[in-house]
Each structure stands twice: as C-alpha cells, then as structure tokens.
C-alpha cells in the first residue's frame, strides 16, 4: 500500500505551507491529554451567536517577495471600502477578547483584520489606509524576523503598539508547530514549544510594551499539545488559517481566518464577508487530534439551528480541491464525510459548505485532519 504525503490543501495554501511534508513519516511521541475543548468557555450573553469574520493578510506593496501573499495597496483600499459598505466594524483584538471573555459591548458586525509575519512596509502601504478609516489591526509577528532587513524593528513595534495596534505572536522561528523533529523526545518537544510560544510572547511584551493576547499558528498548523502549551503561555485567542467565519462560543484555541490573496475579486471578497458559520459539533476525530492512518471517514453532528437554516441537498465537502461524499442523517443530524476507499494519511484541510434555505448566503465550516501513516502498513 502506498501513501501520498502531498499536502492536499488548495494550491494557494500548498504554496504557503510548503509542499513536502516529509515530517509526516516521523513517528510522533504524542499522547492525548484531557483537553481544552472539554472545559467550559466563557461566553457573554451580549454577543452569543455573533458571527466574527477574521481576515488574514501578509504583505503589501512592491518591495519584498511578489506572490499571492503580496497585495497592491489599491487592492487593500478597495477591500477596506467593501468592509465598510457591508456594515462591518473592525475591532481590535483587545476589544474582541474583552467582548468574548468579559461581555464588554461589541459592534453588531465585528470583524478582525490581521497581518502576519511582520513586514515593515506595512507602515508604508497598509497603515495609512487603515488609519484613514480608523480601522485597528492585529500584527502577528515572529520574533526571529524582528530587526531583519524587511522586518519591523523593536522600536517600530513599540510605536505601533502605542498607536493602538495589537501585537500578537506568530512564534519565534515560524516552524510547523505540530511537527516533531527527527528523534525528538516529548520533553524536548515541549521545551522547544515553550521557546516558540512563551519565549516569543515574553519578547513581544518587552519590545512592544503592551499585552500579547493573540497567537497565529504559523501555516495555521497546530495540535492538542501546541494548544495546551499556548494556553499555558498565556495566550487567549489562537488563530488558524482554516477558512470560514467564527461564532462567539467557538473554541478560542482554533479560530478561523480567511486568507486574502492577491487578485481576489471584489465579489468574492464580499461573498466571503457574508459567509455564516455552519455549526458542527462532536467531531470524530476531535480538532487537533492526531490519528494513525489510513482514515476513511470524518464524523460529526450538524447543529439543529444550522440545519434549519440550510438546504441539506446543497451540503458539500472538499479536501483541498477534491470533493468528498457527504451524508446527513435527517433525523439525528449526523454528518459523515467519506474520503477515498483506501483512506488518507497526512495533513489535510477539509471545508464544508451549504447554501442558505433563503437568500444566497453560504454557510461554512472547515478543519484540519491529521493522520500519521500507519508504520505497520507502509512497508518502510
């Protein structure tokens, strides 16, 4: 039996996430501890059920690498205008955390703008456009990039924080946090995660002079151990790049973000802002859980409220660009997504959508599935 280690995300994601994931062949020394999903999450009645889209940008302007992650300032300006036109009010991470955790008032349609990595030409190309509209943003910085030729300096981080930008962490060295190194013991991995998560947070607090509440997992990759370490390091809100909107009450350890790529059509951007969360619970396997492959099915329950709002015959699921078969038990709401007959292994992004019963809105959910190859069957 053979396995494909090719990462089956969309082409854009594959570019971002680097295609060869040879680490999947490395046996990982992970067990499954009692996990954060079991703990009750603080949720305010004020904002219960509110939809929160989060946008993920990387670079702006003509300096630096020119690829799908580099937007022209005019393009960004048009998108900010669409955000306003759609009635969204961008909030800061501080505001969102206060609303989510302490019930502080939030706008009717909150939205979060995030910018990853820490390219300093943000100041030149994106910042004037944000400030012209009074829009806050979160800057997710990986600390090894601070002081590099194209990265923010420490002084710039301090000035940005003072100007009202949230500084969040994007790790220290931008690794695939869910990946163990070759022959790495569990203790060594935990120590490394401590440096990446607690270490980067400490530096950013010191350099910016502000609180660091948010973490954006590099490449959006995480697992249960990473999330636990992030919580222990003091992060409140952790972000992936799984597409789709968030709903207040979702686990704060794996919030969704829509990556905005160069050349996104205005109509596509507008439709993305209008997406509604397709609420899915009781996942098997749970988000962040590693399985030993090959795996043929994903199972879950479609929340009754979501079920009542969609046309069931429009339910679709995709792994990367490949459609999966979806069955919905009309009585129980049980969802079953079927992969290929032989099963899959590796790390895959699964996106599930459905059309609204009324109107043209799309309901969306997405998640990673992580399957270690079953060593006993690979013949390696």
Q: Mark the segment that binds Zn ion (CB under 5 A) among 97-105, 116-124, 238-246, 345-353.
A: 116-124
CA distance 78 to 81: 5
Q: Which of residues 332-361 bind Zn ion (CB under 5 A)?
A: none
- Does residue 166 touch Zn ion according to CB under 5 A? no
Q: Mark the segment that binds Zn ion (CB under 5 A) among 80-88, 109-117, 243-251, 330-338.
A: 109-117
At 62, list the tokens. 């003509």
The nearer residue to Zn ion, 90 or 218, going by C-beta atoms, is: 218
To Zn ion, the closest distance from the beta carbon of 133 in angstroms equals: 25
CA distance 217 to 231: 13
The nearer residue to Zn ion, 220 or 294, going by C-beta atoms, is: 220
Q: Mark the segment that binds Zn ion (CB under 5 A) among 47-55, 111-119, 303-311, 332-340.
A: 111-119
Contact 12, 349 (CB under 8 A): no
To Zn ion, the closest distance from the beta carbon of 330 in angstroms equals: 42
- Does residue 196 touch Zn ion according to CB under 5 A? no
- Does residue 117 touch Zn ion according to CB under 5 A? yes
CA atoms within 13 A of residue 12's CA, in its CB half-sphere? 14
Q: Mark the segment that binds Zn ion (CB under 5 A) among 43-51, 110-118, 158-166, 357-365.
A: 110-118
The nearer residue to Zn ion, 117 or 250, going by C-beta atoms, is: 117
Taking the CA atoms of 333, 243, 172 and 373 in sequence, report the sign of the dihedral they define.
Answer: positive
Taking the CA atoms of 8, 10, 14 and 17 in sequence, report the sign of the dihedral they define.
Answer: negative
The nearer residue to Zn ion, 117 or 303, going by C-beta atoms, is: 117
Residue number closest to Zn ion, CB atom: 116
To Zn ion, the closest distance from the beta carbon of 138 in angstroms equals: 13
Size of the site for Zn ion (CB under 5 A): 2
Contacts of 274 by beta carbon, 8 Å cutoff, 6+ apart: 86, 361, 362
To Zn ion, the closest distance from the beta carbon of 223 in angstroms equals: 18
User: In this chain, which of 88, 116, 213, 223 binds Zn ion, going by CB under 5 A?
Assistant: 116
Contacts of 95 by beta carbon, 8 Å cutoff, 6+ apart: 104, 106, 110, 136
For the chain, the residue count is 380
CA distance 184 to 171: 19
Which parts of this chain interact with Zn ion (CB under 5 A)? 116-117
């Amino acid at each position: 039996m053979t396995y494909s280690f090719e990462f089956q995300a969309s082409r854009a994601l594959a570019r971002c996430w680097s295609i060869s994931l040879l680490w999947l062949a490395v046996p990982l020394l992970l067990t499954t501890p009692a996990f954060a999903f079991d703990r009750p999450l603080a949720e305010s009645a004020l904002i219960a059920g509110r939809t929160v889209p989060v946008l993920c940008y990387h670079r702006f302007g003509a300096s630096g690498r020119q690829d799908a992650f580099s937007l022209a300032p005019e393009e960004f300006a048009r998108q900010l205008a669409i955000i306003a036109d759609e009635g969204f009010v961008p909030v800061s991470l501080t505001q969102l955390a206060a609303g989510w955790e302490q019930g502080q008032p939030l706008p009717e349609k909150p939205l979060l703008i995030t910018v990853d990595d820490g390219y300093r030409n943000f100041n030149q190309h994106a910042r004037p456009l944000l400030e012209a509209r009074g829009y806050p943003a979160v800057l997710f910085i990986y600390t090894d990039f601070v002081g590099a030729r194209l990265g923010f300096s420490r002084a710039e981080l301090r000035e940005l924080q003072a100007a009202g930008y949230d500084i969040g962490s994007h790790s220290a060295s931008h690794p695939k946090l869910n990946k163990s190194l070759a022959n790495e013991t569990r203790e060594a991995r935990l120590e490394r995660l401590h440096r990446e998560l607690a270490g980067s947070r400490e530096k950013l607090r010191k350099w910016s002079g502000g609180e660091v509440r948010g973490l954006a997992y590099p490449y959006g990759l995480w697992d249960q151990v990473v999330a636990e370490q992030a919580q222990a390091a003091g992060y409140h809100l952790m972000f992936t790049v799984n597409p789709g909107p968030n709903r207040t009450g979702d686990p704060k350890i794996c919030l969704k973000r829509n990556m905005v790529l160069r050349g996104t059509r205005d109509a596509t951007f507008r439709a993305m802002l209008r997406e509604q969360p397709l609420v899915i619970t009781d996942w098997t396997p749970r988000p962040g859980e590693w399985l030993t492959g090959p795996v043929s099915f994903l199972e879950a329950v479609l929340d009754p409220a979501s079920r009542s709002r969609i046309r069931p015959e429009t339910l679709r699921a995709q792994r990367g660009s490949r459609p999966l078969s979806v069955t919905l038990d009309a009585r129980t709401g049980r969802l079953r997504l079927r992969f290929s007959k032989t099963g899959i292994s590796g790390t895959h992004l699964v996106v599930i959508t459905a059309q609204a019963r009324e109107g043209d809105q799309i309901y969306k959910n997405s998640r990673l599935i992580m399957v270690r190859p079953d060593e006993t069957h690979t013949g390696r």
